[in-house]
């Protein structure tokens, strides 16, 4: 079986262009992974997602374990067959969702006891069970089980949380075992504290993961604080392995993180925004619910070749969104995912051409200029 592999092809400062090789296909980095929480990217067919340029999807351990269950998906041929996606799939460990349940869960050294947000049924998730679920799903990239430290948090509590996540990381490695062709990523924690993140990185490096995620960000700390952490966190992780910033994010967040050496991203923003009438464009976010678009015959973005921009006007998008037609969610989600993949391709080209600084300057000027003038 083809091995999981990562190679760096070009650099510009701290930014890298690379390629991840998996048995299910290659992934060009920096890469954005559309989120298919419950075995579907909402409002999109897998072939439509693929047409945007996406090479890998993210799916969710927590939601799939609750319904339809990992065992059922495994019996039906695995997650790839179940959702009709033949490319690589990364699954998160379920840790973030479980930690978000707050009053519905209890954390111990063994794992987390929690109640389902769906029906109140009781469940237990541990490093071993999380890895087992991800194996049953057939995930190509498996995430170790961790506790996502909330923000804000004291340094003492952040250290306690990080240390437990490191113990859970070791148990995740042991549960994963030897699986040629599949990859296991460790997750760095430590909140906003440099020394804690350094310690976390050292402990993870000792376990020799196939890749490393930067966890505990995009949890309310704001972009300035996130970038301050990213000024040092990526360089604390192995140079030769892919680096994944979990749950990010907005286009400007992604661009800033790429400048600082991050290779992989995921976020629900493009699909969630598409379902709520917001288009993400070169000029920033555009609210298609706004009445200013109701008589506008122009496309959402004249330089975009997605179906929404190629075949429909702003006036039409405004109409189907205001009337709640399903096609509104479909078209805007398609556009937003297409925009994200175009952005990633543009970043890869800029890095390869040693032109990233100019690209970032032009990108931020365009984003701050605002939407085109109203007719």
**288 phi, psi to nearest 5 deg:** -75, -5
d(CA 266, CA 240): 21
Give, as one character, the DSSP assignment of residue 231: T
Q: What is the side-by-side order of every strand in the sheet holding 31-33?
A: 31-33, 264-266, 243-245, 211-214, 183-188, 141-143, 89-92, 57-60
Tell me which residue of 53, 46, 363, 5 sits closest to 181, measured CA to CA: 5
Give, as one character, the DSSP assignment of residue 3: P
Q: Does 12 participate in catalysis according to the annotation? A: no
Q: End-to-end distance of the chain based on CA atoms, in angstroms?
A: 57
Peptide bond into 152 cis (omega under 30): yes
User: Can you tell me whether residue 355 is helix, strand or coil?
Assistant: coil
Q: Does 92 participate in catalysis according to the annotation? A: yes
Of these residues, 12, 92, 253, 371, which one is catalytic? 92
Of these residues, 263, 266, 296, 371, which one is catalytic? 266
The tokens for 240 are: 């030769």
Identify the residue whose tokens are 């995912």. 337
d(CA 233, CA 69): 35
Catalytic amino acids?
92, 266
């Amino acid at each position: 079986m083809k091995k999981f592999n990562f190679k760096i092809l070009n650099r510009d400062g701290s930014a890298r262009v690379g390629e991840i090789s998996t048995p299910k296909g290659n992934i060009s980095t920096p890469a954005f992974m559309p989120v298919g929480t419950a075995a579907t990217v909402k409002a999109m067919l897998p072939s439509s997602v693929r047409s945007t340029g996406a090479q890998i999807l993210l799916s969710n351990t927590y939601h799939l374990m609750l319904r339809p269950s990992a065992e059922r998906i495994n019996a039906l041929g695995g997650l790839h067959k179940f959702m009709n996606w033949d490319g690589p799939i990364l699954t998160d460990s379920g840790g973030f969702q479980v930690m978000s349940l707050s009053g519905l869960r209890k954390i111990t050294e063994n794992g987390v006891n929690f109640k389902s947000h769906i029906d109140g049924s009781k469940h237990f998730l541990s490093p071993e069970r999380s890895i087992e679920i991800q194996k049953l799903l057939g995930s190509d990239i498996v995430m170790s089980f961790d506790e996502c430290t909330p923000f804000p948090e004291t340094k003492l509590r952040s250290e306690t949380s990080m240390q437990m996540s490191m113990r859970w990381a070791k148990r995740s490695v042991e549960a994963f075992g030897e699986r040629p062709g599949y990859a296991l990523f460790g997750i760095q924690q430590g909140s906003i504290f440099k020394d804690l993140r350094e310690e976390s990185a050292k402990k993870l490096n000792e376990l020799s993961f196939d890749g490393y995620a930067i966890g505990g960000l995009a949890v309310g700390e704001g972009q300035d604080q996130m970038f301050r952490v990213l000024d040092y966190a990526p360089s604390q992780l192995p140079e030769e392995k892919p680096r994944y910033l979990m749950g990010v994010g907005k286009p400007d967040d992604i661009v800033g993180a790429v400048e600082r050496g991050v290779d992989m991203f995921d976020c629900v923003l493009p699909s969630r925004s598409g379902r709520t009438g917001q288009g993400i464009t070169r000029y920033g976010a555009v609210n298609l619910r706004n009445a200013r678009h109701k008589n506008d015959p122009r496309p959402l973005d004249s330089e975009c070749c997605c179906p929404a921009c190629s075949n429909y006007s702003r006036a039409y998008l405004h109409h189907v969104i205001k009337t709640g037609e399903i096609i509104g969610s479909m078209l805007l989600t398609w556009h937003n995912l297409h925009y994200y993949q175009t952005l990633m391709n543009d970043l890869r080209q800029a890095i390869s051409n040693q032109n990233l600084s100019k690209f970032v300057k032009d990108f931020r000027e365009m984003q701050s200029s605002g939407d085109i003038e109203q007719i």
